[in-house]
Amino acid sequence: MDYRAYIMGEDGRISGVHEMDCADDEEATAKARQLLDGHDLEVWHRDRRVTVLKHHTRQ
């Protein structure tokens, strides 16, 4: 719970956010990967950064 995927603009600023209800970091990361669409994402759990996903590394 309490996960967010922040969409990062080319200028390094947040350009959008997706709130996600996830059981753990792995599920949050997997859901965030589905959101990759030309922008980098930062996945956060409350005030802790979980991971950074680069749009060119989509798998």
How many domains does the chain contain in total?
Answer: 1
d(CA 9, CA 16): 9
pTM of the model: 0.86
Average pLDDT over residues 16-20: 96
CA dihedral 15, 40, 20, 43 (to 10 degrees): -110
**pLDDT of 58 over the 70 cut:** no
**Beta-strand pair 14-20/40-45:** unpaired
CA 55 to chain centre: 11
Structural domain boundaries, residue 53: 3-57
The answer to which of 8-17, 25-34, 49-58 has the lowest mean pLDDT is: 49-58
More confident residue, 10 or 21: 21
**pLDDT of 9 over the 70 cut:** yes
